[in-house]
Amino acid sequence: MKSYGPPPRGYGVYDFLTDWGLRMASATPSGNVLQTGAKQAIEPHQKLMAGKGEQEMADYMAGVSATGASLSAVADVAAAQAKAREFNKDFTKERRKETMQQDIFTKAQPGTFGSTWSGAAGMAEGTVEINDLKKLFGDQNLPVDLITMTDTEGTGNFTFDPKALDDQTVWWDPHKKQYMIIITTTDAEGKEGVATEYFGNSQSDFERALKSLGKTTTSEKPKHLIPPPVEEKSLWKKITEGKTTEEEMKQAGKEATEKIKSRFTGEGDITQGDVRGYNVNLKNIVKNEQKKAEVEKDYNELETWWKGQDTNFSYGYQGWPGVN
């Protein structure tokens, strides 16, 4: 307003009084004073009414114009903000990746992974994803990092050594463009090694990988490679198969003797009477005599078998060990 000055004023009351006064001073009287004054006020009054209407309309239109301009300006600002938000939204991911890819590709040394367009793309995507994760988790020390790909043989085949990577870090593979972890393995022979496990490239994939850090696996030997259990043969089975040593033969003789003697434990002998001085326990005596017959039969069978073993030992038959 100060730049353009005050708005033009229309025909107002001041103009009406000035115009009417001048007309009264120069008019020819017609009738009394009131009649003359009324006659001279007709035209100034018409101008006053016309001026008032024009001023009101001018004020109204000025208000409409100002309001329209304001609304237009607001609409323009809103449109600009929406466009900026859309631009910034695109820039947070794809534009950032594209910009970083170009930067990596331009600055990379010839022959390195970043000097290839696809390699630069994988590195750029990993860098953007990792930075966003650290911002999301509010932790700049978040255990996630980018794998450095190398061409050790100079053939253009870029790889990495899993053994050189920390198993407590989630790694971004710029070649496969996925999150990956290192697993400690133990084979069937107890030998330790490492393996890789991939999860994908989303935030949920990263979280699954993060929960899997420190994972280990142990392999079992295939069943067809496991030797069957060795059957523990009894001493008597070894004897019958002729696969015993001299010491084992003597031990067998002692065991047979103790077994025979045990048959008499707690039972009466033919020469024994009742310990209380009463009648002889005939029942025990009868059983004892039956056992003596069984024992004699056992001795005979063992002695016959022993004589047949002369060829197994250089010392020949010398009687049942521990008995004769």
State whether 73 and 121 are in the same domain: no
Domain count, the chain: 3
State whether 129 and 207 are in the same domain: yes
State whether 31 and 81 are in the same domain: yes
Tell me if 289 is assigned to some domain: yes
Structural domain boundaries, residue 241: 237-312
State whether 199 and 248 are in the same domain: no
| Residue 236: per-residue pLDDT | 58
Rounded to two decimals, the pTM is: 0.45
Contacts of 41 (CB under 8 A, 6+ apart): 20, 23
Average pLDDT, the chain: 75
For the segment 153-162, what is each residue's pLDDT rounded down to a tens digit?
A: 888 899 999 9
**For residue 74, how many C-alpha atoms fall within 13 Å in the half-sphere facing its CB?**
6
CA distance 102 to 115: 10
At 8 the three-state DSSP class reads coil
Tell me if 294 is assigned to some domain: yes
State whether 75 and 134 are in the same domain: no
Average pLDDT over residues 143-164: 92
Among 225, 253, 271, which residue terminates a domain?
A: 225
For residues 270 and 293, the answer to whether their CB atoms sit within 8 Å is no
State whether 172 and 128 are in the same domain: yes
State whether 38 and 119 are in the same domain: no
For the segment 193-203, what is each residue's pLDDT rounded down to a tens digit?
A: 999 999 999 99
State whether 44 and 122 are in the same domain: no
Question: What is the band of 274 on the pLDDT scale with cuts at 50, 70, 90?
Answer: very low
State whether 259 and 298 are in the same domain: yes
155 φ/ψ angles, rounded to the nearest 5 degrees: -105, 0
